[in-house]
Amino acid sequence: MSIIAWLLVGLAAGAVARIIVRTDRSGCLFTMVVGILGGLIGGALFNTAGQRGLDNFSIWSIFVASIGAAGLLFLLDAITRR
């Protein structure tokens, strides 16, 4: 995927993950970074499970990245809510 596709998938996945987790953190850059990191995490998890990870700009890639980003947001919320 190109850099622009990674940014778009990251932004979309981060936005979906923020809706799933219902976090109050805001900002476009935060959402994009969480989505991109979530794409890396989700892609690795799906590849390990024998499924297709991230490939091109598609709904599947946004889904995989959203799952990883939601997991990352749950982890961040658990760490910061002490």
Give pLDDT, residue 1.
62
Instruction: Kindly list the distances between the CA atom of residue 42 and the CA atoms of 24, 30, 61, 62, in Å, as whole numbers in the listed order.
Output: 22, 18, 9, 10
Using pLDDT thresholds of 50, 70 and 90, give the confidence band for residue 81: confident
Query: Under 8 Å CB-to-CB from 12, ≥6 apart: which residues?
Result: 35, 62, 65, 66
Per residue in 38-72, pLDDT (tens digit) is 888 888 888 888 877 777 777 888 888 888 888 88
The whole model's pTM is what?
A: 0.80
Which position has the higher pLDDT, 14 or 57?
14
Q: In whole angstroms, give the CA distance from residue 45 to residue 73.
A: 16
Give pLDDT, residue 77.
83
